[in-house]
Amino acid sequence: MPVNSRNILKKITDANLVGRGGASYPVAQKWAAVKSALATRKIAYIVVNGAEGEPGVKKDGYLIKNFPQEVINGVYLAEEFLNPAKVHKIYFFLNREYFRAYGPGLKKVLTLPKYKKLGEKMEFIVKPEILTYISGEESALLNLIEGRKVEPRLKPPYPTEHGLHGHPTLINNTETFYNVSLVARGKFKNERWYTINGSVKHRGVYSLPADLSIAEVLHRTNNYPSYSFFVQVGGEAAGEVLNSKQLDQPVSGAGSIMVYDERSTKKDRLFKYWLNFYHEQSCGNCTACREGTYRLFELFNHPEPDHKLFNELLDNLADSSFCALGSDAPKPFKSYLKNILKK
Ligand code: SF4
């Protein structure tokens, strides 16, 4: 059966497709919510999120470099599904490096007759270098496009109903659009893209079944270390740290695995890296994160750090932060202390 705007939703539902930006939200549910909001509204927007701000995650760049047509085709299918007459504009968000290197490839695809009209509506938004990681959070990204202060919005309302300029907005990650295209062509095999970094021989981006355990991903890519090691999964900032006996679970978040050689990785260096990241990337909107990340950084650099206070500040960040950057910040520290230091 040829794919059309009616049956694409069923195909996505049947494929159990989930978003690949990190949150794994069901794609069909999001698409249906935008479509339903659009029933009583005049216009909608589509946003492709491809800036990939989480350190260690490289799969979106890999996809737009190697499969630009598949990504664009996913966006085309989204526009067809929502109704091209009502989709006012499409924004493609990229960081500067990706835009420079892969923008030409994407633009070339948009000159193909099938995508020409889509191309006329598409605008590339290049992430300004001074902006922090949080600009990739979906509601902060909407603020960026609208020219407002780049910070997350209070939800609800959700972008599906009240997104760009108050209109229904479909925001999906690059890999999600890529997968939609595969689903439409009957080629989707429930795989996902893994980025493997660190002390391994074959760093890179790999497509493998989505339900593999961390250990299986390392084995299948010939990256399972022969020395004592630990990993950080789902991103090199917010990802959870696990020891080598905890690898029988699937890879979470945006699909990255960072492998650390236990013999040469120093706790203080690692903590400093994470603290620098959070301290620099906090957008400053809420007190818990703005002050908390600063105080943690300061405390850690004190000649006699107060470990009890350090832990309390981490708990406060988890409980009181406005968005995931702050509430997830304690994860690497706490999991390292529990799974590596006390194992
Ligand atoms: S948690 Fe941090 S990044 Fe998120 S809104 Fe608050 S200050 Fe900004």
Mean pLDDT (whole number) for 302-318: 92
Q: Which of 74-83, 97-106, 323-332 has the lowest mean pLDDT?
A: 323-332
**pTM, whole model, 2 decimals?**
0.93
- Residues contacting residue 27 through CB under 8 Å, at least 6 positions apart: 12, 17, 18, 19, 172, 176, 179, 180
The pLDDT value recorded for residue 133 is 76
Phi, psi (rounded to 5 degrees) for 255: 85, 25
- Ligand 1 atom closest to residue 290's alpha carbon, by position in its atom list: 7
Question: Which residues, in sequence order, are bridge partners of residue 232?
Answer: 241, 258
What does the radius of gyration of the chain's CA atoms come to, in whole angstroms? 21
CA distance 110 to 73: 10
**Confidence band, pLDDT 50/70/90 cuts, at residue 136:** confident
The pLDDT value recorded for residue 82 is 97
Question: How far does residue 231's CA lie from ligand 1's centre (Å)?
Answer: 26
Q: Report the candidate in 130, 50, 129, 134 with the shortest Cα–Cα distance to residue 329.
A: 134
Question: How far does residue 72's CA lie from ligand 1's centre (Å)?
Answer: 32
CA distance 319 to 334: 14
Residue 1 lies in a domain: no
- Ligand 1, CB cutoff 6 Å, lining residues: 134, 151-152, 282-286, 289-290, 321-323, 325-326
Q: Report the candidate in 195, 180, 164, 159 with the shortest Cα–Cα distance to residue 34.
A: 159
The pLDDT value recorded for residue 264 is 95
Count of domains forming the chain: 3
Residue 34 lies in a domain: yes
69 and 104 belong to one structural domain: yes
| Residue 1, pLDDT above cutoff 70 | no
**Helices and strands per DSSP (H, E), number in the chain:** 14, 9
Given the DSSP bridges, would you call strands 122-127 and 204-209 parallel, antiparallel or unpaired? Answer: unpaired
Domain that holds residue 292: 267-341
- Residues contacting residue 165 through CB under 8 Å, at least 6 positions apart: 45, 146
| Average pLDDT of the chain, as a whole number | 93
Where is the domain boundary, 184, 205, 223?
Answer: 184
CATH number of the domain enclosing 205: 3.10.20.600
288 and 147 belong to one structural domain: no
Contacts made by residues 318-321, CB under 8 angstroms, sequence distance 24+: 319/288, 320/286, 320/287, 320/288, 321/286, 321/288, 321/289, 321/292
Residue nearest to ligand 1 atom 6, measured at CA: 286
Question: How far does residue 165's CA lie from ligand 1's centre (Å)?
Answer: 22
54 and 178 belong to one structural domain: yes
Ranges of beta strands (E only) in 180-228 are: 191-198, 204-209
Residue 146 lies in a domain: yes
Cis bond before residue 332 (omega within 30° of 0): no
Residue 215 lies in a domain: yes
297 and 212 belong to one structural domain: no
172 and 29 belong to one structural domain: yes
Cis bond before residue 156 (omega within 30° of 0): yes
Residue with the larger pLDDT of the pair 130 and 330: 330
| Residue 97, pLDDT above cutoff 70 | yes
**135's tokens:** 């600009």
89 and 232 belong to one structural domain: no
CA distance 87 to 45: 6
The string of DSSP letters for 217-275 reads: HHHHTT---SS-EEEEES-TTTPEEEETTS-SSB--TT-EEEEEETTT--HHHHHHHHH
| Model pLDDT for residues 216-233, shown as the tens digit of each residue | 999 999 999 999 999 999
Contacts made by residues 144-150, CB under 8 angstroms, sequence distance 24+: 144/93, 145/47, 145/91, 145/93, 150/283
30 and 136 belong to one structural domain: yes
**Confidence band, pLDDT 50/70/90 cuts, at residue 54:** confident
Residue 227 lies in a domain: yes
Where is the domain boundary, 243, 261, 279?
Answer: 261
88 and 203 belong to one structural domain: no
The pLDDT value recorded for residue 3 is 59
The pLDDT value recorded for residue 254 is 87
CATH number of the domain enclosing 129: 3.40.50.11540
Where is the domain boundary, 221, 241, 261?
Answer: 261
71 and 86 belong to one structural domain: yes
**Confidence band, pLDDT 50/70/90 cuts, at residue 134:** confident
The pLDDT value recorded for residue 4 is 63
Residue nearest to ligand 1 atom 1, measured at CA: 326
CB of 190 closer than 8 Å to CB of 209? yes
19 and 121 belong to one structural domain: yes
- Ligand 1 atom closest to residue 327's alpha carbon, by position in its atom list: 1
Residue 100 lies in a domain: yes
CA distance 332 to 67: 32
276 and 236 belong to one structural domain: no
| Residue 24, pLDDT above cutoff 90 | no
User: How many CB atoms neighbour CB 143 within 10 A?
Assistant: 18
Given the DSSP bridges, would you call strands 256-261 and 229-233 parallel, antiparallel or unpaired? Answer: antiparallel
| Residue 208, pLDDT above cutoff 80 | yes
| Model pLDDT for residues 103-112, shown as the tens digit of each residue | 999 999 999 9
Residue 68 lies in a domain: yes
314 and 234 belong to one structural domain: no
Ligand 1: which of 286, 297, 313 to mutate, judged by most atoms within 8 Å of the beta carbon?
286
Question: How far does residue 259's CA lie from ligand 1's centre (Å)?
Answer: 28
Query: C-alpha 19: how far from its chain's center?
Result: 9
Residue nearest to ligand 1 atom 8, measured at CA: 283
Ligand 1: which of 150, 278, 283, 320 to mutate, judged by most atoms within 8 Å of the beta carbon?
283
